[in-house]
Structure 1
Amino acid sequence: MANARKPLGRVPLGRESVRAPSERSRIGRRPSVLAERFREGWGVLLAVAAAYLLLSLFTYSPQDPGFNHAGPAVAVYNMGGWLGAYAADGLLMVFGLAGFVWVLWLAFHAWNALTLQDGPSFHLQVVTLPLFLVASSMLLYVFEPLPNWPVVGGGYGFGNGGLVGKFVASQILPFLGHVGGVMVMTALLVLALLWFTGWTLAEVRASCVWVYQVAMVTGIALGRWCRRMWARMPEQFDLPLSHPLPKRGRPVVVKDDDEDKPRRPRASEKQAALPLLVEGQFVLPPLDLLNEPKEQEGGESEEALQQNARRIEAELRNFGVEGVVTNIRPGPVITVYELEPAAGVKTSAIVNLQDDLARAMSALSIRITTIPGKSVLGIEVPNLKRQFLGLRELLDTDAFEHDGGKLTVALGVDTAGIPAFTDISKMPHALIAGTTGSGKSVAINAFIISLLYRLTPEQLKFVMVDPKMLELSIYNDIPHLITPVITDPNKAAAALNWVVKEMESRYRLMSEMGVKNLAGFNEKFEQLQAEGKMPTKLVQVGFDLNTGQPKHEEQPLATKPLPHIVVIIDELADLMMVAGKAVEFSIARLTQMARASGIHLLVATQRPSVDVVTGLIKANIPTRISFSVASKIDSRTVLDSMGAEALLGKGDMLHLANGSNTLQRLHGAFVSEDECAKVVTYLKSQGQPQYVDDVFKAGVAVVPNGKGGGSAGGDEMGEDGDPEDLYAQAKDVVLREGKASTSFLQRALKIGYNRAADLIDKMEGEGLISAPNHVGKREVVARR
């Protein structure tokens, strides 16, 4: 007993050790060594026989020789040879696919012999093996043969169950029915399996539990390993419910093949030195002046995105809002989770929870908005690590290179990372707002650089106004400037008045040429120039001395095509404080009329209050771009809706396009001061600017009485006009109307309180009016 060999192959699988029947049958006896060697050899032979039979059955071919098909000896495709072909044909003909049971039977006995275990008794095998074969054949017969199985049943059409299965089914199914026959045969099959193997139901149950536990432990360990490996890989995946994270590669730049108006050649990116320029030729800046795109790590992992989606659903559920995240769209800066609200849930109920959701998600801010064309809400959650976007990545794209617009600028990328461009001529004017550090000045630099990369000084001119004297001064002396960068608000008001007069002059030229816009004017001018003609107009130069009739002569209407003019105001608030009425009047006229003349305004401010962005200015600027602002009121002032107060800063913006009422969230491209300096140096090396001397001679615009909107505290007459002329007007009004007060002069002359009070005091000092009485009323002493 002490030296009894512990049986192999049977492992306790449940909580209690269940002793195998073979082990119980062997307790108390030990076979001899010779018998063990004999059984091991017998086990090897049975294992070989099982493998041979399995190979023969798997390589069965109907063309092989069989019991009812004779062929030449060389025509044997079965890998078991002639014997294997006959064995496979016989088993498949009689038992069908149940012929593989013989392989299991041989393998079972081989295992018992090799492990020195006693199998079932001979009498038990005589009963269980036929029962197992019959039940399995009948069960296999009721299923249709697989379409790719090579003629089961040995080529006799007996189906999956062979001759035995067909016969048993024909006898049983008419009495028990299809379902009943399957149930009975399944029970017999399980019973035969238990009897044949000697297993008990307790052992089977314990084995199933053990297999389940092993599978669970293995699956969990494998899942953890896969997550660790996935975390080390670069992020590039396909979400089951979303679009893949876009990858911004470096697109191939294709030359523009516009034959009608060929663009000036762009300098090669590999060019080290400035080429020798032919007189009149201008080479656009090369892209290598801008920094190369940086290699960046992948964004949020798929697991993190799915966890955030579940957290959003759970947090909304805590506030009594039911909904399901149906799609996840990761981007370079934010990730959009598309939420399908439950029936009966109002959109406002979800939008009002964005601050609470941001707190629960530990996010800087979260913006919830509707998605046009979909029934879902977009929940925009900032990524833990935002990707860097350089301006070169946008300019070095086919979309920018082949864009048909002349004044195309790079806005940035949308929430999915797709580049976004716009044509300033279609804006046609833009209001840009944002607090300090929101990316407003960087965006203006990106617009300027985009234009400098597309148009030559003959095609584009700038008027830049920078009251802060910091942002735009770097562009001084580039060939595209009409005047040096303007830092004095009074000069800025005069420059805007000159632009208005230039607009009126252009419209007169277009009227003489019979065209409607700048593009038509330049096209007709080029046609006349190609024909060797110049556009002219008939001008009276005097009178004939003999006849006294007017004398006319033809003078050139224009000597060259007219360039586009882009007016950039970096800070509107400073101009409105100093020369509010004049600036407001000029901006209003330009935004109302200047589009067809090729003049466009980009007006920026960091204080989008109603006294800066007046109703008159706002009503005529259809395109709005808002970066992060301080409050919902500022957002409404710029965009007519909330949302900009929840932006992330550093280039995160909301874009309201001309003719659209839908806000588009974009992430602006970054261009450094060093990159701007390189481009400016390159442009300066190709020529000097040709400044217009008459810009400041136009003076400040005179606003007609009753015209214009509210003022920001200054007035053009009081601050910039002639004080003596203003006093003469005030005296004339007082003497004509017979009354004098500060408020009366404010209304009559459209001036501020301080200036009106000074005029009243001056009239009192000259004796024109009396001092105020006990109720503050003055009498007009002088008469006209």
Structure 2
Amino acid sequence: MNKLKRIIHEYHLKQKLKYAFHSAELYKVRSLSNGKLAKSFPKIHEIKIEDGFTRYTFTLLNGMNPSEVKKKEFVFRQVFGNNIEIRGSLKKYVLHVYNAEMKKQYKYNVTDALVAIRNHSLPVLCGINRHGHLFSYDMVTVPHLLIGGRTGSGKSTQLRQLLTTLILSKRPEELELYLGDCKKAEFHLFRNVEHVKANVVQETHIQQMLVHLKTEMDKRADLLDVFAVAHIDDLPKDRRLPYIVLCIDEFVMLRKNKLIMDSLLELTALGRALGIFVILSMQRPVASVLDTTARSNLSVAMGFRVRDAIESKVLCTPGAEKITVQGRFYMDTNGEMTELQSPLLTLEEAKKLLEPFKIMPSNTKPVNDFTENDDSIFGRLE
């Protein structure tokens, strides 16, 4: 596209955005000296045509209500089509208009996954974006994860691939997993996996597990103090410790247990430097469980389809209540929003991938599956 054509094209795009402002009633009316009325629209700073999308940057005028932008999102969809995304707050906003729809399904691929996470110390494989690129991040840098989504949204499948990917990427001496399955339905798959030090379903055992991790946290804090370092990665090589990931599914069922909730709060507040990280998931995000302090400790939230705007607000993933595609989610990373499609890893495929990591003691009793009759869920490990 030559310069003149680009200028003309950008002019038409600008007029289209102004038409959207007008249709959404995002303007201020002022009186002119001749007695006529004029409309002032939000200021358009930039229109940039990228490969696969067009980006519009604009700011609201002083006095305009920011909530109107989200409320009138349907108008932008009517003007630009359904493949749009609006990000921003208070005054500055960025509108992305994409040329193509996101994939509605992405099958988990081991080779692609390991390439995407190769530079991460403790990888979290998230999913593909609108451009088909796999998105991942390092939990050591961005600690603790909250996942929310109603039944059938893809939340459980995401948990499955997250844990499987961690196991595939780290040796047992580099990573220890502690799993709490309040629904008693999600983590059977990980029984007898060498990385898994506890895989429990009863509230009493989850409480014991957290007491154990609190003790481990204190030991690690003392070790950092002895060597005068700020993070376990800075310890001498001969004193290096494995990362620990605690994952509890449907933890909202534990909300009445003050010891458990206090322990989770302490782990998310202090765990990062000690190499202890938390993944929590829930079907129905509840504000009374996720207060401001608890939510601020969870750097990342993945919001799959939830029931309503209140639940999406609790997760800090606005728009999650409008998701219609299974496996689609919004991810909030310290205030930055991304729309992704999670990798689909079936139960059978996960079993095959995990088979090389399975161990079974001579008495054939699973080493990380604990029953009500156990005096200590950690006694067998010791």
Q: Scaled by the length of structure 1, what TM-score is found?
A: 0.39
The code of the aligned residue for 1:590 comes to L
* Whole-Å separation in 2 of the counterparts to 1:342 and 1:638: 26
> 1:519 deviation in Å?
1.9
Query: Partner of 2:177 in structure 1?
Result: 462
Q: 1:359 to 1:490 in 2, by over 3 A?
A: farther
Query: Partner of 1:584 in structure 2?
Result: 261
Query: Partner of 2:247 in structure 1?
Result: 568
* SS of residue paired to 1:355: helix
Q: Does 1:598 align with 2:275?
A: yes
Query: What are the residue-to-residue correspondences of 1:743-762 with 2, within 5 Å?
Result: none
The code of the aligned residue for 1:369 comes to R
Q: Which of residues 159, 162, 177 is equivalent to 1:447? A: 162
Listed one character per residue, the Cα deviations across residues 193-240 of structure 1 (whole Å, up to 9, x for unaligned) are xxxxxxxxxxxxxxxxxxxxxxxxxxxxxxxxxxxxxxxxxxxxxxx9
C-alpha contact 1:431 1:623 (8 A) present in aligned 2: yes
Q: Which of residues 189, 195, 210 is equivalent to 1:496? A: 210
Query: What are the residue-to-residue correspondences of 1:395-406 with 2, within 5 Å?
Result: 395-396=112-113, 398-401=115-118, 403=119, 405-406=120-121
Q: 1:318 to 1:655 in 2, by over 3 A?
A: closer
C-alpha contact 1:445 1:671 (8 A) present in aligned 2: yes
Query: Partner of 2:108 in structure 1?
Result: 391
> 1:497 deviation in Å?
1.6
Query: What are the residue-to-residue correspondences of 1:329-408 with 2, within 5 Å?
Result: 337-339=54-56, 348=66, 349-358=68-77, 363=82, 367-370=85-88, 377-379=94-96, 386-392=103-109, 395-396=112-113, 398-401=115-118, 403=119, 405-408=120-123
Query: Partner of 2:284 in structure 1?
Result: 607
Q: Does 1:669 align with 2:343?
A: yes
C-alpha contact 1:571 1:606 (8 A) present in aligned 2: yes
* Whole-Å separation in 2 of the counterparts to 1:605 and 1:446: 17
- Structure index of larger Rg: 1
Q: Which of residues 605, 616, 628 is equivalent to 2:305? A: 628
> 1:604 deviation in Å?
0.9
Q: 1:461 to 1:380 in 2, by over 3 A?
A: farther
Q: Which has the higher contact order (CA 8 A, sep 6+)?
A: 2
Query: Partner of 2:36 in structure 1?
Result: none
* Whole-Å separation in 2 of the counterparts to 1:614 and 1:498: 25
Structure 2 segments unaligned to the other structure (5+ residues): 7-12, 27-40
Aligned residues: 343
* Whole-Å separation in 1 of the counterparts to 2:172 and 2:106: 28
Greater fraction of residues in helix: 1
* Whole-Å separation in 2 of the counterparts to 1:391 and 1:309: 40
C-alpha contact 2:149 2:303 (8 A) present in aligned 1: yes
* Whole-Å separation in 2 of the counterparts to 1:385 and 1:514: 48
* SS of residue paired to 1:500: helix
Query: What are the residue-to-residue correspondences of 1:714-753 with 2, within 5 Å?
Result: none
> 1:517 deviation in Å?
2.8
Query: Partner of 2:30 in structure 1?
Result: none
Listed one character per residue, the Cα deviations across residues 542-575 of structure 1 (whole Å, up to 9, x for unaligned) are xxxxxxxxxxxxxxxxxxx532111001111112
* Whole-Å separation in 1 of the counterparts to 2:218 and 2:96: 48
Q: 1:513 to 1:630 in 2, by over 3 A?
A: same
Structure 1 segments unaligned to the other structure (5+ residues): 1-239, 242-307, 526-560, 699-784
C-alpha contact 1:351 1:369 (8 A) present in aligned 2: no
* SS of residue paired to 1:568: strand
> 1:384 deviation in Å?
5.8
Q: 1:594 to 1:362 in 2, by over 3 A?
A: closer
C-alpha contact 1:584 1:616 (8 A) present in aligned 2: no
C-alpha contact 1:329 1:416 (8 A) present in aligned 2: no
C-alpha contact 2:150 2:284 (8 A) present in aligned 1: yes
Q: 1:470 to 1:375 in 2, by over 3 A?
A: same
* Whole-Å separation in 1 of the counterparts to 2:47 and 2:226: 61
Query: Partner of 1:638 in structure 2?
Result: 315
* Whole-Å separation in 1 of the counterparts to 2:195 and 2:88: 42
Q: Which of residues 330, 335, 352 is equivalent to 1:654? A: 330
Listed one character per residue, the Cα deviations across residues 163-215 of structure 1 (whole Å, up to 9, x for unaligned) are xxxxxxxxxxxxxxxxxxxxxxxxxxxxxxxxxxxxxxxxxxxxxxxxxxxxx
> 1:326 deviation in Å?
4.2
* Whole-Å separation in 2 of the counterparts to 1:643 and 1:380: 17
Q: Does 1:474 align with 2:189?
A: yes
Listed one character per residue, the Cα deviations across residues 687-711 of structure 1 (whole Å, up to 9, x for unaligned) are 897559886479xxxxxxxxxxxxx
C-alpha contact 1:498 1:696 (8 A) present in aligned 2: no
Query: Partner of 1:505 in structure 2?
Result: 219
* SS of residue paired to 2:196: coil
Q: Does 1:420 align with 2:135?
A: yes
Which runs of at least 4 in structure 1 moved beyond 6 Å after TM superposition? 308-313, 322-325, 359-362, 685-689
* SS of residue paired to 2:219: helix
* Whole-Å separation in 1 of the counterparts to 2:356 and 2:347: 14
> 1:411 deviation in Å?
1.3
Q: Scaled by the length of structure 2, what TM-score is found?
A: 0.75
* Whole-Å separation in 2 of the counterparts to 1:591 and 1:571: 17
Identity of aligned residues (%): 21
